[in-house]
Structure 1
Amino acid sequence: MSEPILSVSDLHVNYGRVQAVRDTSFDVPEGGLVTLVGSNGAGKTSVLAATSGLVRPRSGRITFLGQDVTRWSAHRRVSAGIVLVPEGRQILSTLTIEENLQLGGWRRRQSGARIGQMYDRFPVLAQRRRQLAGTLSGGEQQMLAIGRALVAEPRVLLMDEPSMGLAPKMVDEVFAVIESVRAEGVTVVLVEQNARRALTVADTGHVMETGSIAHSGPANELLEDPRVVKAYLGME
């Protein structure tokens, strides 16, 4: 069996005295789609923040393509191919769509071609490329955030709550994009509160509770696991 493209090993993340993540380990196979699901405050976002380099873990190890990247800066990880689509989108609202996409490619040569590909993928962005990003709808802003990340040519795309606050039709569009990106060979790690939807598209799922992984397995099996259904799927 080939080595995973990304491994998180015995991860612990603290914010001051508050322990957000503890004893968390999982592997991500190249080309796979792995999801972390769970309730608010379970530690999902903190795992992605540590993986992307936005926070320094208290202990543990993050390995990418066989290299220990635990102490790498966030921008070095982006250059290597670990790219985050953050929770809340975090686009630059006073810049245009095109300027936001250009920022996604600041570490890449010939990013103009990648931006052109994003306009092909998201025609609504192409039509409004000179419009200020802050004037877009929530769904359009999410497409821009995904496009900005894809301009950086990720090997592993980390996605934090991409469907948050979106209308059902736009949620469908976001998940269609996630599946198409994965089909193109990009490895995806998806954090989602919409557990049923996330497990439906994923290969493997990890259910987080109070900072650690409580259940793991093939996503289709977790969808049928009575413990997971009762805790996370019963009301959906």
Structure 2
Amino acid sequence: MSEQAKENPILEVESVHVAYGRVQAVRDVSFSVPEGGLIALVGANGAGKSSVLAAVSGLVRPGSGRIRLEGKDITRWPAHKRVGAGLVLVPEGRQILGTLTVAENLRLGAHRRRRQAAPESEMYELFPVLAERRALPASALSGGEQQMLAIARAMIARPRVVLLDEPSMGLAPKMVDEVFAVIERIRASGVTVVLVEQNARRALRAADTGHVLETGAIAHSGPAAHLLKDPRVVKAYLGVE
């Protein structure tokens, strides 16, 4: 990664606060991501990880703070405008349309950024299992295959930044391996990745930088390799292999 990319982050989150009624879900969260980088947001259930992604993607509006994409303040942009600018969320729970076929789900993803969208064939090369099942309703896929479809639906829009919310949740170990292999390929293609993941050890192994959230605030930050060896992080979140 070039020094220029490090100095000019593609995504900046500055002092963001998110509340749901009287419940403060995110408190003064700040981080930046260089173009082509991969950062991991890890922490316990309820730590605020998904709420951070909701604010970045435009699903919720922060009570205060700033979010910038390529230097532009997008804090008040609606979600669809962020997608058009190349910021795409793969939500927790996948949220694919089960009554539509695999191919139809992909076309919906392409519709978000028509001019920039990749051809379906490109997604089938990246996700061979989807090529075999393209005519099947999405509801007929296994959980792991549905996750692959959710990621492919985001990637067909050729995002600049992809936000992945708990992509390995509920998957068998073999499928977790496949999902992380796809994440590595996405990152290798030059797409910037923000990864929220309960499997903290696996996420930090894939990431350049990690941020550990506790009760809505960042408690630890640093190079992911250092966090993997930090006794405080190991004790609280990683455990013994």
Provide the rounded CA distance (Å) in 2 between the counterparts of 1:63 and 1:170.
34
Corresponding residue for 2:145? 140
Provide the rounded CA distance (Å) in 2 between the counterparts of 1:216 and 1:226.
13
Corresponding residue for 1:63? 68
Structure 1 alignment gaps of length 5 or more: none
For normalisation by structure 1, the TM-score amounts to 0.97
SS at match of 2:119: helix
Cα drift, residue 87 of structure 1: 0.3
Cα drift, residue 109 of structure 1: 3.1
Q: Structure 2 vs 1, CA of residues 224 and 21 (structure 1 numbering), >3 Å: closer, same or farther?
A: same
For normalisation by structure 2, the TM-score amounts to 0.95
Is 1:152 equivalent to 2:157 in the alignment?
Answer: yes
Q: Deviations over 1:25-73 (max 9, x none)?
A: 0011111000000000000000000000011111110000000000001
Q: Deviations over 1:96-124 (max 9, x none)?
A: 11111001011333677531101111111
Corresponding residue for 1:77? 82
Q: Please say if residues 112 and 157 of structure 2, whose CA atoms lie closer than 8 Å, have aligned partners that are also in contact.
A: yes
Is 1:217 equivalent to 2:213 in the alignment?
Answer: no
Q: Deviations over 1:162-200 (max 9, x none)?
A: 000000000000000000110010000000000000000
SS at match of 1:178: helix
Provide the rounded CA distance (Å) in 1 between the counterparts of 2:117 and 2:57.
24
Q: Percent identity?
A: 73
Aligned with 2:183 (options 157, 164, 178): 178
Structure 2 alignment gaps of length 5 or more: none
SS at match of 1:105: helix
Corresponding residue for 1:201? 206
Corresponding residue for 1:189? 194
Amino acid of the structure 2 residue aligned with 1:234 = G
Corresponding residue for 1:87? 92
Aligned with 2:236 (options 227, 231, 234): 231
Q: Please say if residues 14 and 65 of structure 2, whose CA atoms lie closer than 8 Å, have aligned partners that are also in contact.
A: yes
Provide the rounded CA distance (Å) in 1 between the counterparts of 2:232 and 2:100.
46
CA RMSD, 1 decimal? 1.2
Q: Structure 2 vs 1, CA of residues 154 and 111 (structure 1 numbering), >3 Å: closer, same or farther?
A: closer
Provide the rounded CA distance (Å) in 2 between the counterparts of 1:181 and 1:230.
31
Q: Please say if residues 83 and 113 of structure 2, whose CA atoms lie closer than 8 Å, have aligned partners that are also in contact.
A: no
Corresponding residue for 2:32? 27
Q: Structure 2 vs 1, CA of residues 6 and 112 (structure 1 numbering), >3 Å: closer, same or farther?
A: closer
Q: Structure 2 vs 1, CA of residues 110 and 78 (structure 1 numbering), >3 Å: closer, same or farther?
A: closer
